[in-house]
Amino acid sequence: MNISRSIADVRERIAAFRREHPGASVGFVPTMGYLHEGHAALLRRSVAECDFTVISIFVNPLQFGPNEDLERYPRDEDRDLKLAAECGANLVFLPTVEEMYPKRQRTIVSVSGVTERLCGASRPGHFDGVATVVSKLLHIVGPDRAYFGMKDAQQIAVIRTMVEDLNFPVDIVPVETVREPDGLALSSRNVYLSPEERRQAAVLSQALEHAQRWSAEPGMTAPVLEERVKSHIRTAPLAVIDYVEVLTYPELEQPGADTPLAEISGELILALAVKFGSTRLIDNRLLNLQEVTQACSAP
Amino acid sequence: MNISRSIADVRERIAAFRREHPGASVGFVPTMGYLHEGHAALLRRSVAECDFTVISIFVNPLQFGPNEDLERYPRDEDRDLKLAAECGANLVFLPTVEEMYPKRQRTIVSVSGVTERLCGASRPGHFDGVATVVSKLLHIVGPDRAYFGMKDAQQIAVIRTMVEDLNFPVDIVPVETVREPDGLALSSRNVYLSPEERRQAAVLSQALEHAQRWSAEPGMTAPVLEERVKSHIRTAPLAVIDYVEVLTYPELEQPGADTPLAEISGELILALAVKFGSTRLIDNRLLNLQEVTQACSAP
């Protein structure tokens, strides 16, 4: 596994691989480091599907708001490199902030529509920062496929919209969320949780599981489902809800408040953001109405 | 010369060329059609420098304001194809608006700084439209080099900023403005001019020529030079000045009003936009202070 800290070096190594292996495919896993089993799932998927796998580790200042956790975002380069190697990555891109932003960034890639709700509403400018850095990374790496975790479902919606609208020659591959035994979605931010917060945080995935069942109840609507999920989350005394929303996916638009969920064509997502102390956790679930309806109507 | 009307077909043809000619280079000339000798100069330069030359012809609605000349922008596909073939282009990309914008465009590439003055001030949103469509075209064609005419000097500054900020893997090559015998910069919009407007429009390049000389006068400053150029343009009774500005290039920042031009390090550009009737013409000149100063101080 090679490690590159400069853009020129990454480009050179990937170009050399492509020259030596005409027609071979390059997979890319962009991360902010502090890798866990969720990242490992992305890497393994890329290694299985592509001939050469590149992972980037870069805590992107452009996607953090002024009062967010940029400075204290967890970092552990040695452990990250070990995990990347174990998963079979071929090249790690580990740039400094100066390498990625040598001067003030004057060009911003901005996606409207899918960015207005959920984390886009809570974190103004966040998705401009994400779209801009992913645009840069895609130009630097030039992958055939890029892998993103479904835990950040809105991020995937934003990046798919960008890739489609700007005709990036890349396939965006969503990969299912990896969870702890009690259901908590893996996140680099989980290390911030106190033992008691960590214990109570299991309520989030529980709520999503219940919601899957509740969504199949006859006449169930988005506002009623959201209220029930909120009530369940509030059974954890340390939970402070930022949002709980049922939206169409990947458009992220509100379904009609009075429309029964079963009558909505296309996919629906239940997405939530909840704070435990100063740690903000997100999670989501695509609501599989078809399957559940069938299961309920079975004899 | 091949003609492609679909994105998929363009991609396939260029990929096939690259497969068959490993290491070969692709040059790209994006245009809005109604080609003239200025475009021919871009094409010939690309043909001379690259192994395969792609030209796109697309009148991009995204870069026209609501009261601008999108509908009446001149078009002549047959003549364009003939000229492209004569210049040695290998592939013409001729998409419809629906092919380029199949749904509402939600992703915008926005460049700040270099877009605030000159045409950016007169045409709000114009350069977002330019940056967005050029971003799309670069992703579709994937060229090694892209050629742009210096008549649109601000456009080149915007695209260079975008390419640098977003790490597009392409070289942007500026090509000198081609002029009529009386000095008028070639432009597809010149056909709008009445015979009398056309005659008077020669004042623009004359003013730029004079400005080159005036800029070398001891103590000459930007405001004084701008005033003198405006006075000269006003000798043409049909000329209505939009702007005349001396700026640093390619940053497009105002030099100090009291600073003698000779003391400013880096390049300066004199750029102007002037209306004749309903036709808005632009032109510019990089002020070569070094050379002139030397010429003046020669015995």
Same domain membership, residue A217 and residue A163: no
Does residue B15 fall inside a structural domain? Answer: yes
DSSP single-letter state for residue B192? G
User: Which residue positions of A form the known binding site for ATP?
Assistant: 32-39, 149-152, 178, 186-189
| Average pLDDT of the segment spanning A253-261 | 95
Give the model confidence (pLDDT) of B187-228 as tens digits.
Answer: 999 999 999 999 999 999 999 999 999 999 999 999 999 999
Going by pLDDT thresholds of 50, 70 and 90, the confidence category of residue B289 is confident
Give the model confidence (pLDDT) of B15-33 as tens digits.
Answer: 999 999 999 999 999 999 9
Same domain membership, residue B134 and residue B21: yes
Same domain membership, residue A95 and residue A205: no
Going by pLDDT thresholds of 50, 70 and 90, the confidence category of residue B97 is very high
Give the model confidence (pLDDT) of B129-143 as tens digits.
Answer: 999 999 999 999 999
Same domain membership, residue A83 and residue A10: yes
The predicted complex's ipTM stands at 0.94
A179 contacts A186 by C-beta, under 8 angstroms: yes
CB atoms within 10 A of CB A23: 7
Set of chain A residues whose Cβ sits within 8 Å of the Cβ of B11: 169
Among candidates A277, A186, A199, A287, which has minimal Cα distance to A244? A287
Question: What is the least distance, in Å, from the CA of B78 to any CA of chain A?
Answer: 28
Cα A251 to Cα A154: distance, rounded to the nearest angstrom: 9
Give the model confidence (pLDDT) of A67-91 as tens digits.
Answer: 899 999 999 999 999 999 999 999 9
Same domain membership, residue B163 and residue B28: yes
pLDDT at B277 over 90: yes
Give the model confidence (pLDDT) of B110-136 as tens digits.
Answer: 999 999 999 999 999 999 999 999 999
Query: A231 Cβ partners below 8 Å, 6+ apart?
Result: none
Same domain membership, residue B47 and residue B149: yes
Name every residue in B having a CB less than 8 A away from some CB of A. Answer: 7, 11, 19, 22-23, 105-114, 131-132, 135-136, 139-140, 142, 161-162, 165-169
Same domain membership, residue B109 and residue B86: yes
**pLDDT of amino acid B295:** 42
Mutation site, B10, B108, B127, B166, interface A, largest A CB count within 10 A: B166
Out of A124, A141, A175, a domain closes at A175
Set of chain A residues whose Cβ sits within 8 Å of the Cβ of B24: none
Mutation site, B103, B165, B170, B251, interface A, largest A CB count within 10 A: B165
Same domain membership, residue A141 and residue A220: no
* CATH code, A242: 3.30.1300.10
Residue B164 in tokens: 């640098």
Give the model confidence (pLDDT) of A201-220 as tens digits.
Answer: 999 999 999 999 999 999 99
Residue in A closest to B136 by C-alpha: A166
Among candidates B61, B127, B54, B154, which has minimal Cα distance to B94? B54
The pairing of beta strand B267-276 with beta strand B239-249: antiparallel
Does residue A159 fall inside a structural domain? Answer: yes
Does residue A180 fall inside a structural domain? Answer: no
| Average pLDDT of the segment spanning A117-131 | 95
Same domain membership, residue B207 and residue B255: yes
Out of B175, B200, B231, a domain closes at B175
Same domain membership, residue A154 and residue A29: yes
CA distances from residue A92 to A21, A89, A188 in whole angstroms, order as listed: 19, 7, 18
Please tell me which of the candidates B11, B106, B142 has its beta carbon nearest to residue A161: B106
Set of chain B residues whose Cβ sits within 8 Å of the Cβ of A25: none
Question: What is the least distance, in Å, from the CA of B102 to any CA of chain A?
Answer: 9
Cα A15 to Cα A17: distance, rounded to the nearest angstrom: 5
Does residue A182 fall inside a structural domain? Answer: no
Please tell me which of the candidates A19, A107, A113 has its beta carbon nearest to residue B166: A107
Same domain membership, residue A203 and residue A125: no
Residue in A closest to B162 by C-alpha: A107
| Average pLDDT of the segment spanning A4-12 | 98
Number of domains in chain B: 2
**B139 and A166 in contact by Cβ < 8 A?**
yes
Same domain membership, residue B166 and residue B59: yes
DSSP single-letter state for residue B282? E
| Average pLDDT of the segment spanning B236-261 | 96
Does residue A234 fall inside a structural domain? Answer: yes
* CATH code, B40: 3.40.50.620
At B110, is the secondary structure helix, strand, or coil? strand
Among candidates A195, A192, A199, which has minimal Cα distance to A278? A192
Instruction: Supply angle C-alpha B266, B267, B272, rounded to 5.
Output: 150
Q: State the residue range of the domain holding A274.
A: 188-297
Out of B150, B175, B200, a domain closes at B175
Question: What is the least distance, in Å, from the CA of B215 to any CA of chain A?
Answer: 30
Using CB atoms within 10 Å of the CB of residue A235, give its burial: 0 to 12 exposed, 13 to 18 middle, 19+ buried. Answer: exposed
Going by pLDDT thresholds of 50, 70 and 90, the confidence category of residue A290 is low
Give the model confidence (pLDDT) of B27-50 as tens digits.
Answer: 999 999 999 999 999 999 999 999
